[in-house]
C-alpha cells in the first residue's frame, strides 16, 4: 500500500468533522470522494496531507506518519491541488510551479525550467500564462497551475480538491486521462474530492462522506 489512513479524526473546537476514517491506497490508484456543500471534503484532504493541527490518527506514507512532524522531504512528495487560490502571489506562474524544486532540490536552473515547461506542456498550460501573476488567472487556470506545481515534484500521493469547477466535460475527461497517463510514467496514488460524475466514473473506487465517515459506494 502506498498510503494508509488509520482511524483519522478531525475535530474543530466547536465541531467533530470526521471520525474513524480508514483508507488504503495502492500506487496508481485513483480514489474519488463524493462531496456535497460544506461536508468537510477539503478538511479531509488537508487532514490527510498533515496540514491541520486538530487531527488524530495516522496517515502513513513511505513509513512516515505525516501527522507527526513530517520531514520536509516527505511533505514535498505529497502534492496538494487547492480548489481556490493556492499559488504564491509574489511569483508568476512559471516560478510558482518551479518553487518546490528550487527550494528542495539541487537541480540546476536549466533542469528546473525544463521540468516546469514539460509539465505545463503535458497539462496543456499555454506559454502565454507562464509569466502572469496569480491574480491574472481565472479559477480553472489557477487550479491547472496548482496541479502542475503538484505534479512537477513527481509526488507519491496527490490530493486534489474539486478540480472540475468551471471546466467543460471534455476538459474534465481530458485532465483525468492525463492523470492516468502520468501514473503510468511515475507511480502515484490520487485522492480527489468531487461532485462530478465524470471524475467518479474515472476513479477506481468512490467513497461518500456519510455521518462523518467514509463509506465506499458502487452506485455513484
| Binding footprint of another protein on the chain (CB under 8 A) | 49, 51, 72-73, 75-76, 78, 80, 82, 85-90, 99-100, 102-106
Query: Which residues share a beta bridge with 25?
Result: 3
- In terms of CB distance, is 78 or 206 closer to another protein? 78
The residue to which cell 481530458 is assigned:
174
Q: What's the min distance (Å) between Cβ of 75 and another protein?
A: 4
Q: What's the min distance (Å) between Cβ of 112 and another protein?
A: 10
Q: What's the min distance (Å) between Cβ of 152 and another protein?
A: 11
Q: What's the min distance (Å) between Cβ of 72 and another protein?
A: 4
Q: Would you state the cell numbers that stand for residue 183, as one nine-digit string?
A: 501514473
Q: What's the min distance (Å) between Cβ of 149 and another protein?
A: 8
> What is the signed CA dihedral for 154, 158, 163, 168, rounded to 10 degrees?
50
- In terms of CB distance, is 16 or 88 closer to another protein? 88
- In terms of CB distance, is 8 or 99 closer to another protein? 99
Measuring CA to CA, which residue among 27, 32, 8, 7 is closest to residue 216? 32
- In terms of CB distance, is 40 or 86 closer to another protein? 86
Q: What's the min distance (Å) between Cβ of 71 and another protein?
A: 8
- In terms of CB distance, is 15 or 85 closer to another protein? 85
- In terms of CB distance, is 18 or 80 closer to another protein? 80
The answer to whether the CB of 87 falls within 8 A of the CB of 145 is yes
Integer Cα distance of 11 and 184 in angstroms: 36
CA–CA distances in Å: residue 189 to residues 2, 78, 98, 138: 7, 10, 22, 27
Amino acid at each position: 500500500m502506498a498510503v494508509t489512513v488509520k482511524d483519522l479524526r478531525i475535530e474543530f473546537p466547536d465541531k467533530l468533522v470526521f471520525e474513524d476514517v480508514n483508507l488504503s491506497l495502492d500506487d496508481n490508484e485513483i480514489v474519488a470522494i463524493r462531496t456535497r456543500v460544506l461536508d468537510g471534503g477539503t478538511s479531509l484532504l488537508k487532514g490527510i496531507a498533515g496540514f491541520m493541527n486538530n487531527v488524530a490518527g495516522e496517515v502513513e506514507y513511505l513509513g512516515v506518519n505525516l501527522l507527526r512532524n513530517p520531514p520536509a522531504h516527505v511533505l514535498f512528495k505529497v502534492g496538494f491541488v487547492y480548489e481556490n487560490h493556492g499559488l504564491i502571489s509574489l511569483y508568476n506562474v512559471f516560478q510558482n510551479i518551479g518553487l518546490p524544486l528550487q527550494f528542495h532540490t539541487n537541480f540546476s536552473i536549466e533542469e528546473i525550467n525544463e521540468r516546469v515547461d514539460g509539465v505545463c506542456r503535458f497539462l496543456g498550460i499555454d506559454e502565454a500564462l507562464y509569466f502572469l501573476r496569480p491574480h491574472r488567472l481565472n479559477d480553472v487556470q489557477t487550479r491547472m497551475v496548482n496541479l502542475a506545481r503538484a505534479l512537477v515534484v513527481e509526488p507519491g500521493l496527490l490530493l486534489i480538491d474539486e478540480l472540475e469547477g468551471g471546466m467543460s466535460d471534455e476538459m474534465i475527461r481530458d485532465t483525468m486521462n492525463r492523470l492516468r497517463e502520468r501514473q503510468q510514467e511515475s507511480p502515484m496514488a490520487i485522492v480527489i474530492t468531487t461532485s462530478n460524475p465524470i471524475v467518479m466514473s474515472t476513479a477506481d473506487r468512490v467513497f461518500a462522506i456519510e455521518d462523518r465517515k467514509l463509506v465506499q459506494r458502487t452506485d455513484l
